Amino acid sequence: MSSVQRFCAMGCEAVVGGATTAERRAVLALLEQRERTFSRFQPDSELRRVNASPRPAVHVSATFAAAVAAALDAAAATDGRVDPTLLDAIEHAGYDADFATLRPDPRPPGAPAPSARVGVRLAGRVLVRPPGTRLDLGGVVKALAIDDALALLAGPGFVSLGGDLATRGPLDVALPRGGAVRLERGGLATSGSSGRRWSRGGEAQHHLIDPATGRPATSPWAEVTVCGATCLAADVAAKAAFLLGAQGPEWLDRRGLPGRFVAADDAILENASWRAGAARAAACT
């Protein structure tokens, strides 16, 4: 993939490889459209409009409905660990403004907020949810955008956004804390608490909320990287594996998902699927 183009989108650095100029423009337009639709902080975003609506049933756009469906599927596939109804919890932890503007706040975090996922339903493009339930689709929107952007490329290429990526064709990828791997096909995503951190009440907070406690999760891992058939699969699995803590590697192995875990002391653990995948490919070459 010779041509690699970089630009800023959805508050992250986007990297597109193997795209023509027209395809790059289409990718940028798609990412900007997703930003306008799903931003928690743009006052005119569809997410803000839906969350502000007092009606129990709201008609949403096709893009919004697809994201809600993906979020509900992700929640079901992870036994509720990746939950789209934890907006109150993340705001109570202090992430209530654009991350770039967050400053240490001496006030203590707000009360933990429980999940309301079981009451959220989607019937076509009608979203039904319990009164007062607000959605945060950030757990799936970026990965979905990457997969959709990759579909805009006619030939081999890749799309990377804020450290998550999907490729069509082999792509060598640098890994957290050193090392590299070749992604033959699919997506690669890294989730963890080392990136998006802030201070509230003198305590470090992060954006990965444990649905069981309604608080930022406690995990032995700083970062979890997962290889999935799509970026969405990789991202959802990486978040779930982080939240599962010590059970994360085995949970991924049961699903055949390669995972690489970086502990707080920088120790690196690769699960059996990650090691087996690399060894099988090496044996074939």
Partner 1 sequence: MASLESPLTTPPIGSPRRSLAAARLRAARAKFTLATVGGLVFVAALGLARGSHASNPKHRARALAAPPRFVDAVNRNLLQAGVLAPAQAPPEAQTSVS
Q: Which residues bind partner 1 (CB under 8 A)?
A: 1, 4, 12, 15, 17, 73-74, 76-77, 142, 158, 160-165, 170-176, 179-196, 223, 225, 227-230, 233-234, 236-237, 255-258, 273-274, 277-278, 281-282, 285
Amino acid present at 19: A
In the complex, what is the shortest distance from the CB of residue 246 to partner 1, in angstroms, rounded to a whole number?
A: 20
- Of 109 and 195, nearer to partner 1 (C-beta) is 195
Of 88 and 235, nearer to partner 1 (C-beta) is 235
DSSP state of 56: S
Cβ neighbourhood burial of 172 (10 Å; 0-12, 13-18, 19+): exposed
By beta-carbon proximity to partner 1, the closer residue of 162 and 220 is 162
Q: Which helix (H) or strand (E) holds 213?
A: none
CB nearer to partner 1: give 88 or 223: 223
Question: In angstroms, how far is CA 178 from the centroid of its own chain?
Answer: 22
Nearest CB to partner 1, comparing residues 4 and 52 = 4
What DSSP string runs through 79-129? TTSS-TT-HHHHHHTT--S-GGG---B-SPP-------GGG-EEETTEEE-
Q: Rounded to the nearest whole angstrom, what is the least distance from the CB of residue 49 to partner 1 in the complex?
A: 26
Amino acid at site 207:
H
CB of 193 to partner 1, least distance (A): 8
Q: Shortest approach of partner 1 to residue 208 CB, angstroms? A: 10
- Counting Cα atoms < 13 Å in the Cβ hemisphere of 66 gives 13
Minimum distance from residue 79 beta carbon to partner 1 (Å): 9
What is the rounded CA–CA span in Å between residue 214 and residue 216? 7
Find the shortest distance in angstroms from Cβ 176 to partner 1. 6
What residue type is 10 in one-letter code?
M
Q: How far is CA 141 from CA 18, 31, 240, 277, in A?
A: 23, 10, 16, 28
Q: In the complex with partner 1, which residue's Cβ is closer, 11 or 110?
A: 11
